[in-house]
């Protein structure tokens, strides 16, 4: 059996004080605005998402629609096991 003891390290009180908050307002080109962030996380309709994906990947819209006939296909077991 191994027992380890780790005593707390002592540090000066002046280092335990909270840091002052400094707020910088940048008008940089790289700054993302609040509207852009809200637009990114907004729930989009399915056809809008598919349209956006087709433009991004240069594919047709049919690539992004699932084949519903596979879901609707009836999975029947054969009446004879050797078929």
Residue 60 in domain:
yes
Domain that holds residue 61: 43-68
Taking the C-alpha atoms of residue 58 and residue 52, their distance in angstroms, rounded to an integer, is 10
Backbone conformation region of residue 44, classed left if phi is above 0, alpha if psi is from -120 to 50, else beta: beta
Residue 28 in domain:
no
What confidence category does residue 83 fall into, taking pLDDT thresholds of 50, 70 and 90?
low
Domain count for the chain, please give it.
1
Residue 34 in domain:
no
Q: What is the pLDDT of residues 35-73, one digit of tens each?
A: 677 777 888 898 888 898 899 999 988 888 878 887 788
% pLDDT > 70, the chain: 86
């Amino acid at each position: 059996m191994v027992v380890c003891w780790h005593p707390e390290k002592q540090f000066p009180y002046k280092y335990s004080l909270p840091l002052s908050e400094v707020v910088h307002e940048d008008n940089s080109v790289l700054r993302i605005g609040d509207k852009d962030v809200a637009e990114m996380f907004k729930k989009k309709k399915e056809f809008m998402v598919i349209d956006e994906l087709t433009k991004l990947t240069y594919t047709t819209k049919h690539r992004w629609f699932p084949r519903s006939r596979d879901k609707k296909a009836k999975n029947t077991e054969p009446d004879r096991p050797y078929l």
